[in-house]
Structure 1
Amino acid sequence: MRAPDIETLVTVGRPAISPDGSFAVFATSRPDLVADRSVGQLWRVDLPDGSPRRITRGVADRSPALSPDGSTVAFLRADAKSRAQLFVVAAGGGEPVQVTDLPGGVTDLSWSPDGTRLAFAARVPEPGRYGTVEGRDAAAEPPRRITGVRWHANGLGYLDRPTQLFVVDAPPTDAEPFYPPAPALDDPEKRVVAAEPTQLTEGDTGWSGVAWTADGSELLSVPDVIEDDRRDLRDRLVAVTIDGGAQREVLSEDLSISEVAVAPDGAVFVLANDVGSEGTDFVAPGVALFAVESEGPRRLTDAETIDLGEVGSHISFDGDDVLVQDRTRGRLRLLRVTRGGAVTEVLGGDLEVNGHAVARGRVVASVASSESFGELILVEGGAARTLTDFGAAVRERAIVQPVEHEIPGRDGYPVHGWVAVPEGEGPFPVILQIHGGPYASYGVHVFDETQVLVDAGYAVVYSNPRGSAGYGREHGRSIRRRMGTLDYFDVMDFFDGVVAADPRLDGERAGVMGGSYGGYMTAWVIAHDHRFAGAIVERGFLDPTAFPGSSDIGSFFGQEYVGTDPEQVAAQSPMAVVGQVTTPTLVLHSELDFRCPLEQATRYYAALKAQGTQAEMLIFPGEDHELTRAGRPQHRVQRFDAVLEWWSRYLPAEG
Structure 2
Amino acid sequence: MKPENIDLLTSLSAPALHPDGSRVVVAAVRPNFRNDSYTGQLWDIKVDGSGARRITQALGDRAPQFSPDGSVLAFLRKDSDGKPQVAIAPGDGGEARLITAAPLGVSSFTFSPNGTWIAFEAARPEEDRYGTTEGISGGQEDARRITTVQYRINGAGFTIDQRSGLYVLAVPPVDEEPYVELKGRAAKAEKKSASASAGKDVSQDVSQDPASGTSTVDETHLGVLGGEKGVPRAVLVTRIDTDAVAPEFSPDGAWLYFGAALHESAQTDLQFDVYRVPLERIFEHLSDNHVTLEVAAPELVTTTSGEVGVESARFGKDGILYALGGALGSTGTDFVGQPVGVYSLGDGTPGNEFRLLTDLNADDFSETSALVPAATAGVWAISRHRGSASPVLVSSQGAQRIDAGQRVVKGIAATQGGVVVVTYSDPQTPADLASLTNGAYTRITDFGAALRDATTVIAPQEFTATASDGTEIHGWVFIPEGEGPHPVLLNIHGGPFHQHDWAFFDEPQVYAGAGYAVLHCNPRGSASYGLDHGKAIKGGMGTVDASDVLTFLEQAVASFPQLDGERLGVMGGSYGGYLSSWLIGHDHRFTAAIVERGCLEPYAFQGSSDIGWFFLGEYMGRDAEAQRRQSPYAAADNNTTPTFIIHSEEDYRCPFEQAQQYFTKLKLQGTEVEMLVFPGENHELSRAGTPWHRKQRFEAILEWWNRYLPVTSSDH
Question: Is 1:313–1:354's contact at 8 Å kept on the other side of the alignment?
Answer: no
CA, structure 1 residues 67+427, in 2 after alignment: closer, same or farther (shift >3 Å)? same
1:528 pairs, out of 577, 586, 603, with 586
Please point out which of 370, 380, 388 is paired with 1:323.
380
Instruction: Report the counterpart of residue 586 of structure 1 in structure 2.
Output: 644
How far apart, in 1, do the equivalents of 2:295 and 2:452 lie?
A: 52
Q: Give how far 1:6 is off.
A: 1.1
Corresponding position: 1:221 with 2:274: no
Question: Hey, what does 1:251 align to over in structure 2?
Answer: 302
Alignment of 1:68-467 (within 5 A): 68-159=68-159, 160-181=161-182, 192-225=229-262, 231-242=268-279, 243=281, 244-246=294-296, 247-253=298-304, 254-293=307-346, 294-310=351-367, 312=369, 314-341=371-398, 343-359=399-415, 360-396=417-453, 397-467=455-525
Q: How far has the Cα of 1:347 moved from its partner? A: 4.6
Cα distance, 1:419 vs. partner? 0.7
Letter aligned with residue 517 of structure 2:
A
Structure 2 CA distance for partners of 1:338 and 1:269, relative to 1, 3 Å = closer
Deviation at 1:65, TM superposition (A): 1.2
The separation in 2 between residues aligned to 1:612 and 1:305, in whole angstroms, is: 48
Residue 174 of structure 1, CA deviation: 1.7
The equivalences for 1:606-625 within 5 A come to 606-625=664-683
Q: Give the letter for the 1:174 counterpart.
A: D
Question: Is the Cα contact below 8 Å between 2:88 and 2:99 reproduced in 1?
Answer: yes
- Contact 1:100 1:193 (C-alpha < 8 Å) held by counterparts: no
Question: C-alpha distance in 2, partners of 1:70/1:347?
Answer: 30
3-state DSSP of counterpart to 2:490: strand
Q: Against the structure 1 CA distance between its residues 592 and 226, is the aligned structure 2 distance closer, same or farther, given a 3 Å change threshold?
A: farther
- Structure 2 CA distance, aligned partners of 1:464 and 1:215? 45
Residue 509 (str. 1) matches residue 567 (str. 2): yes
- Paired letter, 2:70: G
2:650/2:681 contact within 8 Å kept: yes
Once the two structures are TM-superposed, the CA of residue 51 in structure 1 deviates from its matched residue by 2.5
Alignment-derived partner of residue 10 in structure 2: 10
TM-aligned CA distance change 1:166 to 1:592, over 3 Å: same
1:311 offset after TM fit, Å?
5.7
- Deviation of residue 609 (structure 1)? 0.5
Greater displacement, 421-430 / 37-46: 37-46
Q: Given residue 362 of structure 1, which amino acid in structure 2 is its aligned partner? A: V
| TM superposition shift of 1:9 | 1.1
* Contact 1:429/1:509 (8 A) holds in 2: yes
CA distance in 2, matches of 1:401, 1:618: 30
Give the match for residue 692 of structure 2.
Answer: 634
Letter paired with 1:558: L
Question: After superposition, what is the alpha-carbon deviation per residue over 1:587-616, rounded to whole angstroms, capped at 9, x for unaligned?
Answer: 000111101011111111111101010111
Deviation at 1:230, TM superposition (A): 5.6
Helix, strand or coil at the partner of 1:546: helix
What secondary structure sits across from 1:552 in the alignment?
A: coil
| Cα deviations by residue, 1:286-325 (Å, 9 ceiling, x for unpaired) | 2111110254211110112211112635333221132211
TM-superposed CA distance for 1:27, in Å, is: 1.1
- Residue number among 542, 546, 554 corresponding to 1:496 in the alignment: 554
Shift of residue 512, structure 1, vs aligned partner? 0.6
- Equivalence for 2:706: 648
Q: What is residue 662 of structure 2 aligned with on the other side?
A: 604
Aligned residue number for residue 60 of structure 1: 60
Structure having the larger proportion of residues in helix = 2
Shift of 1:641: 0.7
Separation of aligned partners in 2, 1:522 and 1:119:
45
The Cα shift of 1:42 comes to: 1.2
Take 1:208 and 1:283, find their aligned partners in 2: how far apart are those partners? 24
Q: Greater CA deviation, 297-306 or 251-260? A: 251-260
AA of the residue aligned to 1:255? V
Q: Is the 1:287–1:308 Cα contact (8 Å) retained in structure 2?
A: yes
Question: What amino acid does structure 2 have at the position aligned with 1:298?
Answer: R
**Matching residue's letter, 1:371:** Q
C-alpha deviation, 1:211, in angstroms: 0.5
What residue number does 1:553 align with?
A: 611
Letter of the 1:356 counterpart: I
Q: Deviations over 1:182-207 (max 9, x none)?
A: 58878899953431111112421110
Shift of 1:337: 2.3
Which residue of 2 is the match for residue 32 of structure 1?
32
Q: Which residues of structure 2 form unaligned runs of 5+?
A: 196-225, 282-293
Deviations 1:557-588 (A, max 9, x none): 01000111111111111011111100010100
Measured in 1, the distance between the counterparts of 2:230 and 2:590 equals: 59
Stretches of structure 1 that go unaligned for 5 or more consecutive residues are none
Q: Deviations over 1:491-512 (max 9, x none)?
A: 0000010011222111111111
Bigger Rg, which one: 2
CA shift, 1:225, in A, is: 4.9
Q: TM-score, normalization: structure 2?
A: 0.89
Q: Within 2, Cα distance between the matches of 1:237 and 1:258?
A: 6
Alpha-carbon offset, residue 73 of structure 1: 1.1
How far off is 1:218 after superposition?
1.2
Which residue identity is paired with 1:577?
A: A
Instruction: Report the CA distance between 1:228 and its aligned residue.
Output: 7.0
Question: 1:97 touches 1:194 (CA, 8 Å); kept in 2?
Answer: no
Give the counterpart letter for 1:364 in structure 2. V
Task: Please tell me the residue identity of whatever aligns with 1:63.
Answer: A
Of residues 464-473 and 240-249 in structure 1, the stretch that sits farther from structure 2 once superposed is 240-249
Q: Percent same amino acid among aligned pairs?
A: 42
Structure-1 separation of matches of 2:157 and 2:441: 42
RMSD: 1.8
Q: Which amino acid aligns with 2:234?
A: P
Q: What SS does the aligned partner of 1:558 have?
A: helix
Given that residues 73 and 91 in structure 2 are in contact (C-alpha distance below 8 angstroms), is that contact kept between their aligned partners in structure 1? yes
**608-617 vs 227-236, which moves further:** 227-236
Q: Distance in 2 between matches of 1:87 and 1:226?
A: 35
User: In structure 2, how many angstroms separate the alpha carbons of the residues matched to 1:278 and 1:563?
Assistant: 13
One-letter amino acid of the counterpart of residue 249, structure 2: W
Relative to structure 1, the CA distance from residue 255 to residue 532 in structure 2 (aligned partners, 3 Å threshold; closer, same or farther) is same
Counterpart residue identity of residue 127, structure 2: P
- Kindly tell me the number of residue pairs found equivalent between the two proteins: 654
Q: Normalising by the residue count of structure 1, what TM-score does the alignment of the two structures yield?
A: 0.97
